[in-house]
Chains A and B, each alone.
Chain A
Amino acid sequence: MKQRTWPHRTDNPRFTALPFDGSSVDDLAAKFARRRHHHHHQTDRSASTSASSRRVPKPPPPPPPSSSRLRSPASRWKLAPAGSPKPAPSRDFAGLPYDVLARIAASFTQSNLRAASLVCRSWNEALRPLREAMLLLHWGKRFKHGRGGAGANSEKALDSFLKGAARGSTLAMVDAGLMYWEMGKKEAAIELYRKAASLGDPAGQCNLGIAYLQVEPAKPQEAIKWLQLASAAGHIRAQYQLALCLHRGSGQDTNLVEAARWYLKAAEGGYVRAMYNVALCYSFGEGFHRNRRQARSWMKRAADRGHSKAQFEHGLSLFSEGEMLKAVVYLELATRAGERAAAHLKHVILQQLSAPSRDRGMFLADNWRALPSSR
């Protein structure tokens, strides 16, 4: 497949929205200029008070968003209107080619896309396919989860997501990929994740990385590469997964310091399992210098967010500090979550407590709610 800056699904020219009626590009540029001046007067009348009323008289705008499909430099020259003034090409971001704009906005959320569409006409036009994609994404989600009175319909969901993906939305690509993955069509999933990832979507990059770890045979180098990109972009789950890779050393040497660093990032981002691992790192001096205070602090945070092993560990700490009642609460929670080791210790402590204290302990456990977390 010929290298292009933008993977076109259809070969519709991007400028069908402009009055491109086959007239020469010269005429088009002139038409464009005329329309601009016309609206110049109109918008003056509407007396906008915004800063955009700073009208700098401009030379006719650059050639209309021309296709970036280049065969050779020679054909590219033909697209430049012969008679247009060529002093300094105006660096007008309104004049960015449509496919470049679409690429820029590929991973935008709905709200960002809307705001971008309202900037100016050419942006509005350029982003039209993406807005359609958002709609398809929305419908796809509804089909997937079965809302509005209809039951879940995976086929329609996937169809919607794929259509959204075809219009260039990385969010749709990721959701489509996820559906394929859940169906067991891993190759197809990876292809979609890859597209989203290469367009800079952190979720796509994260999913791609994880896919490369889970596929047979695993591709740890690739996985780490993509997880790193997503982690650098702040994707919390990716940071945790990256830390795991570096910790286990899948495919390359372990790097405990890096692993600990990424666990910490993910933990700060609210990822509960990362909090637990951070606590262990501080506890055993892996990747971090031993720090009991930090270990305890992170273990408590994980425990408060429902991590059952952390609840056990934290219960242990409290016990060793003589805080019997608090210890019993956490140990009870851990026991209920299935941590058998917690049950033993819990019984031991319960013997030492008075009946009211025992009741209080159970009451607190019954009424405990996990704190919010990012996962």
Chain B
Amino acid sequence: MATSRKVTLLSSDGESFEVEQSVAVESITIKDSIEEGSAGNPIPVPKVNSKILAKVIEYCKKHVESAKAEDRVDDEDLVAWDADFVKVDQATLFDLIRAANFLNIKSLLDLTCQTVADMIKGKTPEEKRKTFTIRNDFTPEEEEEVRRENQWAFE
């Protein structure tokens, strides 16, 4: 199988991206659809717009290249690269999570989830809501119930 095989991905807003197949199949979703033969060309990627798809492709490219190098020094560089990669605004981070989830790219999902986890940890509920601009949709009774739910079990 020629390693320089290319596929074309089509974002939800109609932009085409040509990528190596080895990069595209970082996404298990895409990999499966190629193997099942149901992919078509270009491969449509619904729900992922061009901005996010471009970032996802950038991530996959970098990781595929690093896997080839296999040098421990590169590992540290990759970690630093990853850390920079997720320094984005929240909306983008959110979109990346959804894209990684939908496209089933484990390493990207791990990375983005870890980023969000670090943003969540150590904060009070109100601080967490502020961080992510989430509306508190509990009624006061519900909120009390949730608090109590955890209390009794731990004496």
In the complex, what residues of B have CB within 8 A of residue A12's CB?
none
A82 within 8 A of B: no
Q: Which of B95, B97, B128 contacts A116 (CB 8 A)?
A: B128
DSSP majority for the B interface? helix
A104–B117 CB distance below 8 A: yes
A152 within 8 A of B: no
A48 within 8 A of B: yes
B44–A73 CB distance below 8 A: yes
B123–A93 CB distance below 8 A: no
In the complex, what residues of B have CB within 8 A of residue A73's CB?
29, 33, 44-46
| A162 to B138 alpha-carbon distance, docked (Å) | 32
In the complex, what residues of B have CB within 8 A of residue A110's CB?
150, 154
A-B contact count (CB 8 A): 147
How many residues on A have C-beta within 8 angstroms of the other chain's C-beta atoms?
A: 57
B101–A100 CB distance below 8 A: yes
B134–A50 CB distance below 8 A: no
Q: How far is the CB of B117 from chain A (nearest CB, A)?
A: 5
A3 within 8 A of B: yes
In the complex, what residues of B have CB within 8 A of residue A99's CB?
101
DSSP majority for the A interface? helix
B125–A119 CB distance below 8 A: yes
B3 within 8 A of A: no
| A29 to B43 alpha-carbon distance, docked (Å) | 29
In the complex, what residues of B have CB within 8 A of residue A357's CB?
none
**Max chain B Cβ within 10 angstroms of own Cβ: one of A46, A77, A119:** A119
Within 8 A of A (CB), among B133-147: 133-140, 142-143, 146-147
In the complex, what residues of B have CB within 8 A of residue A124's CB?
138, 146
Within 8 A of A (CB), among B46-81: 46-47, 75, 79
Q: Which of A72, A103, A115 contacts B124 (CB 8 A)?
A: A115
B129–A91 CB distance below 8 A: no
B79–A232 CB distance below 8 A: yes
B18 within 8 A of A: no
CB within 8 Å for A43 and B136 given contacts A112-B121, A116-B120, A232-B79? yes
A138–B117 CB distance below 8 A: no
A50–B135 CB distance below 8 A: no
| A228 to B73 alpha-carbon distance, docked (Å) | 12
In the complex, what residues of A have CB within 8 A of residue B100's CB?
5
| A168 to B72 alpha-carbon distance, docked (Å) | 31
In the complex, what residues of A have CB within 8 A of residue B150's CB?
110, 114, 117, 131
In the complex, what residues of B have CB within 8 A of residue A232's CB?
79
Q: Which of A3, A39, A105, A120 contacts B28 (CB 8 A)?
A: A3
B1 within 8 A of A: no
Residue positions of B touching A, CB distance < 8 A = 28-29, 32-33, 36, 38, 44-47, 75, 79, 90-91, 94-95, 97-98, 100-102, 104, 106, 109-110, 113-114, 116-117, 120-126, 128-130, 132-140, 142-143, 146-147, 149-150, 153-154
Lowest 10 A-B CB distances belong to which pairs? A118-B125, A93-B132, A91-B94, A91-B91, A3-B28, A52-B136, A104-B113, A94-B134, A104-B117, A119-B128
24 contacts between A and B (CB under 8 A): A43-B136, A46-B139, A52-B134, A72-B33, A72-B38, A73-B29, A73-B44, A80-B46, A80-B47, A91-B95, A92-B134, A100-B97, A103-B113, A104-B114, A104-B116, A112-B120, A112-B122, A115-B124, A115-B128, A116-B128, A120-B129, A120-B135, A124-B138, A138-B153
